[in-house]
Amino acid sequence: MQTRFQWMLVHPAHIIAQGVGSGLLHPASGTWGTLVGWLVFVFLNQSLGAYAWAWPLVLAVSFPVGVWACHVTGKQLGVHDDSSIVFDEMWAIWLVMLFVMPAPLWQQAIAFALFRLFDIWKPYPIRLVDAQWTNGLGVMLDDVMAAFYALLVFSVGKQAFFWMMS
């Protein structure tokens, strides 16, 4: 009998969708996946720092890869957005951090928390996309929408903070 870790290694889509195993950590696999995504962002951002065009390219290439990996993995698990599928969180936190950086660690942590809040809460229309798009694209899009909500609240909060402090 295969463990979930062994099952992940059977197909490249599983490895990607399950965030190289971070989606297998419990409880709160989505938070673990987001944390790994944040760490990957920090590492890649230091490596790609001099190339401003690199992040949009990374996001553009990895999005369809994520759609494919999440779709294949969800289909094989029998649950379109199984809790072990975390590449969508990883990709979305890359998007969040791309717009938040450069920022001190405490601001990154706030952006991280806002993303997790909206990803878990799924306010309208995120919940609608999550419920009606039962494929890899739906899995990825609901997290993209949560990222936009997080960025909006982060930006408004940051401006309000600086306005109050001046």
Count CB atoms within 10 A of the CB of residue 145: 22
**CA-derived radius of gyration, the chain:** 16
Q: How far apart are CA 64 and CA 60, in angstroms?
A: 8
Task: Tell me the two tokens of residue 28.
Answer: 């709160």
Q: For 42-91, what is each residue's pLDDT tens digit?
A: 999 988 876 878 999 999 999 999 999 999 999 999 999 999 999 999 99
pLDDT at residue 1 tops 80: no
Predicted pLDDT at 74: 97
pLDDT at residue 148 tops 70: yes
Domain boundaries, the chain: 4-165
Task: Tell me the two tokens of residue 39.
Answer: 């760490």
User: Residues near 91 by Cβ (< 8 Å), separated by ≥ 6?
Assistant: 37, 59, 62, 63, 66, 140, 143, 144
The model's pTM is 0.94
Q: How far apart are CA 100 and CA 95, in angstroms?
A: 9
